[in-house]
Amino acid sequence: MSKVTWKGGTMLAPVPAVLVSCGSVEKPAALTIAWTGIISSDPPRLYISVRRERNSYDIIKQSGEFCVNMMPSTAVRTLDYCGIKSGKNEDKLAKRKLTALPCTQISAPMIAQSKISLECKVFDIQPQGSHDMFLADIIAVNIDDDLIDEKGRLMIEQAGLLTYAHGTYFALGKKIGTFGFSTKQKRGKEVARKNPKKKKAKDKK
């Protein structure tokens, strides 16, 4: 199969589309971010990349705090709106009927309509061309209680999250595997490996 080569560009996809909130509960601000991701498991850390001209940029830079709100796909219009409009010109949260709630560890608010919210504290800011990268520790995670089953397991598949790819939003589809499933042996092979004598006895019959 032949390939078509384009010049370098932001083609890595899909990526999360999240609503980042900052400021305070009394005076909240928020913007949609797609340039975000995990940078470390231990300690848990992530980054967001923000254009310097965005209204939330100075708020996050001065406070050193923000909250990453993972929104359901049903809120895609709100998410898109908050990425296009500026908080300098209007109260986006009021316009889109979003509710700011107090976080547990930071002064920045979380968004009530978010299914999962990550409270973050900035530990470094790195200029990266068109955007500045805010590196942050994830110091608390807030989850809607209807996503937790009776065993305390997170049922993230029921959060209805969305992704962003090449200018388009997508709702997450069906589950096709879990981490490490490709290396797990089938149940029958596991039993045979654990009980080789039983298998041999069965073969003689």
In tens, the pLDDT along 3-12 reads 999 999 999 9
Question: What global pTM score does this model have?
Answer: 0.88
**Domains of the chain, first to last:** 15-171 (2.30.110.10)
Instruction: Indicate if the pLDDT at residue 36 is higher than 70.
Output: yes
Q: SS in 3 state form for the chain?
A: CCCCCCCCCCCCCCEECEEEEEECCCCEEEEEECCEEEEECCCCEEEEEEECCCHHHHHHHHHCEEEEEECEHHHHHHHHHHHHCCCCCCCHHHHCCCCEEECCCCCCEEECCCCEEEEEEEEEEEEECCEEEEEEEEEEEEECHHHECCCCCECHHHCCEEEEECCEEEECCCCCCCCCHHHCCCHHHHHHHHCHHHHHHHHHC
Whether the predicted pLDDT of 149 surpasses 70: yes
Residue 170 has pLDDT above 90, yes or no: yes
pLDDT one-digit tens code per residue, 68-114: 999 999 999 999 999 999 999 999 999 999 999 999 999 999 999 99
pLDDT given at position 136? 98
Q: What is the mean pLDDT of residues 10-38?
A: 96
